[in-house]
Structure 1
């Protein structure tokens, strides 16, 4: 059963205009059809090869993508951010974690939801206003007054989520926050 329709089309391979006898004809000749098919097969093989190269370059990423629970290193690899940034997010209380001995584990769904939330202005503002220099200690003053090492002080500030304020070359911490931690009577009144 032949048709008498004639449709002007453009060949998908050589881009020349030709007259087709069906609405599904894509190529002007058998040779263009063969070359077009070979081109599609070639592109498919190239994309498979590129994908395989990516998985060979980064095999850990493929393993991490299917896990429900991630370590800090795995989360940093998967989301392309540093480990330190993840620890900062955790210390601000914006991400829930579980501790197994010294190992910290994050649920994948928690990471996904954290990074899918839009950043609003409340996240960009400091959580606590600067109380003023007269109501703050410098880090050195805290170390001298309470006899604490720099590392231990840093851990206390991180653990309690105390805000630090950088003014010039000094870091300041609110006297009230430090006095509460060290149980000073009067909380800041000397």
Structure 2
């Protein structure tokens, strides 16, 4: 590893402060930043190993919990990421079916929780118009033409275009929008 006569400007990977490196491979501004970064790396590796060992240790229990119809509040908290208070609130409102086996043994039905977290379908968004026939000047309006044709304020026209994700194209000082989409929107209103 050779030394450079030039001072290489770098940013420390630990403290993010700028410094001048003497070698091409220097990553930290000083030895303490290098030591702290090494400790953090070792700590994160250790945490990762602990997570892996916990997963190995409790993999059978996790599989068993996923097959049971009724689970404890603590298990539901871990599986669904809901706080204990929220689960008790849902039980009190009757949204989740629960059974009290004793003072501290509350079991909830897993199917009720699954039903709460079902997939929500988002309506289709309009497909983006490809630049082709629809962006020829003959098949487009300018913003001023739209506001004159439909007696609308130019700012209203702009907000309607933005709200409905209508594609627009600027040519020179004019902004063009497809006639077909503008007519559909303003004729319906």
TM > 0.5 fold call: no
TM-score normalised according to structure 2 size? 0.31
TM-score normalised according to structure 1 size? 0.30
